[in-house]
Chain A
Amino acid sequence: MSKSAARPLVSVYTDKSEVIKDTTIPLPAIFKAPIRPDVVNDVHQLMRRNARQAYAVSAEAGHQTSAESWGTGRAVARIPRVRGGGTHRSGQGAFGNMCRGGRMFAPTKPWRRWHRRINVNLKRYAVVSAVAASGVPALVQARGHIIDGIAELPLVVSDKVQEYNKTKQAVLFLRRNKLWGDVLKVYRSKRFRAGRGKMRNRRRIQRRGPLIVYSKDDGLRRAFRNIPGVDTMSVHKLNLLKLAPGGHLGRLIVWTEGAFKHLNALFGTWSEPSTVKKAYNLPHPIMSNTDLTRLLKSQEIKSVLNAPKKRVFHRVRRLNPLKNARQKTKLNPYSEVTRRRALLAKEKRKYETQIAKAKKKKVELKSNHPAIVYQKNVANRLKLLAASKKARQARAAEKKKAAAGKKATKKTAAKKK
Chain B
Amino acid sequence: MMQRKNDANFLFVPSVKIEKNGLQRNIRKPFSKEPNNLMNVSTFRYSGLVHPHAIGITPSVDKKGIIFSYKKPKKLYKPAESIGRITFKSGQKRTLKKVKNVIQSKKYRRDLQQAALRRVSAIYRSQKTKPAKKKGGAKKAE
B10 touches A137 (CB 8 A): no
B8 touches A137 (CB 8 A): no
Contact of B79 among A8, A149, A250 (CB under 8 A): A149
* Total residue contacts A-B, CB cutoff 8 A: 57
Q: Does A38 contact B (CB under 8 A)?
A: yes
A142 touches B49 (CB 8 A): yes
Within 8 A of A (CB), among B36-79: 49-51, 76-79
Q: Does A152 contact B (CB under 8 A)?
A: yes
| Residue tally, chain A, CB below 8 Å to B | 26
Q: Does A249 contact B (CB under 8 A)?
A: yes
A37 touches B7 (CB 8 A): yes
Residue ranges of B at the interface with A (Cβ–Cβ < 8 Å): 4, 6-11, 34, 49-51, 76-80, 82-83
Within 8 A of B (CB), among A119-170: 135, 137-139, 141-144, 147-153
Q: A138-B49, A141-B11, A142-B49 are in contact. Are A247 and B6 (CB under 8 A)?
A: yes
Q: Does A178 contact B (CB under 8 A)?
A: yes
Contact of A137 among B4, B9, B34, B82 (CB under 8 A): B82
A153 touches B78 (CB 8 A): yes
9 contacts between A and B (CB under 8 A): A37-B4, A41-B6, A137-B77, A139-B8, A141-B49, A147-B79, A151-B79, A151-B80, A153-B77
Cα–Cα distance between A364 and B77 once the two chains are bound (Å): 98
Q: Does A72 contact B (CB under 8 A)?
A: no
B7 touches A178 (CB 8 A): no
Which 5 pairs of residues, A with B, have the shortest CB-CB distance?
A248-B8, A144-B10, A138-B49, A41-B6, A142-B9
Residues of B within 8 A of A247 (CB): 6, 8
Most chain B beta-carbon neighbours within 10 Å: one of A138, A148, A178, A293: A138
A38 touches B6 (CB 8 A): yes
A137 touches B76 (CB 8 A): yes
Residues of B within 8 A of A293 (CB): 51
- Least CB separation from A31: chain B residue: B77
Q: Does A321 contact B (CB under 8 A)?
A: no
Residues of A within 8 A of B4 (CB): 37
Cα–Cα distance between A33 and B84 once the two chains are bound (Å): 30
Cα–Cα distance between A41 and B11 once the two chains are bound (Å): 19
Residues of A within 8 A of B50 (CB): 138
Cα–Cα distance between A138 and B79 once the two chains are bound (Å): 10
Task: Name 16 extra pairs, CB < 8 A, besides A151-B78, A247-B6.
Answer: A37-B7, A135-B77, A137-B76, A137-B79, A138-B49, A141-B11, A142-B8, A142-B10, A143-B10, A144-B11, A149-B80, A152-B77, A153-B77, A153-B78, A249-B8, A293-B51
Q: Does A107 contact B (CB under 8 A)?
A: no
Q: A246-B8, A249-B8 are in contact. Are A178 and B51 (CB under 8 A)?
A: no
B8 touches A250 (CB 8 A): yes
Residues of B within 8 A of A153 (CB): 77-79
- A151: shortest Cβ distance to chain B, in Å? 5
B80 touches A150 (CB 8 A): yes
Cα–Cα distance between A407 and B11 once the two chains are bound (Å): 91
Most chain A beta-carbon neighbours within 10 Å: one of B4, B80, B82: B80
Within 8 A of B (CB), among A231-248: 246-248
A37 touches B6 (CB 8 A): yes
Residues of B within 8 A of A148 (CB): 79-80, 83
Cα–Cα distance between A290 and B22 once the two chains are bound (Å): 48
Cα–Cα distance between A250 and B49 once the two chains are bound (Å): 13
- B11: shortest Cβ distance to chain A, in Å? 6
Residues of A within 8 A of B80 (CB): 148-152, 178
- Least CB separation from A144: chain B residue: B10
Cα–Cα distance between A142 and B79 once the two chains are bound (Å): 14
Residues of A within 8 A of B11 (CB): 141-142, 144
- Least CB separation from A155: chain B residue: B79
- Least CB separation from B33: chain A residue: A144
- B3: shortest Cβ distance to chain A, in Å? 11
- Least CB separation from A133: chain B residue: B8
Most chain A beta-carbon neighbours within 10 Å: one of B6, B34, B76: B6
Residues of A within 8 A of B79 (CB): 137, 147-153
- B40: shortest Cβ distance to chain A, in Å? 15
Contact of A143 among B6, B8, B83 (CB under 8 A): B8
Within 8 A of B (CB), among A169-192: 178
Residues of B within 8 A of A246 (CB): 8
Residues of A within 8 A of B9 (CB): 142-143
- Least CB separation from B51: chain A residue: A293
- A112: shortest Cβ distance to chain B, in Å? 26
Cα–Cα distance between A32 and B8 once the two chains are bound (Å): 20
- A270: shortest Cβ distance to chain B, in Å? 21
- A150: shortest Cβ distance to chain B, in Å? 5
- A31: shortest Cβ distance to chain B, in Å? 10
- B70: shortest Cβ distance to chain A, in Å? 15
- B18: shortest Cβ distance to chain A, in Å? 24
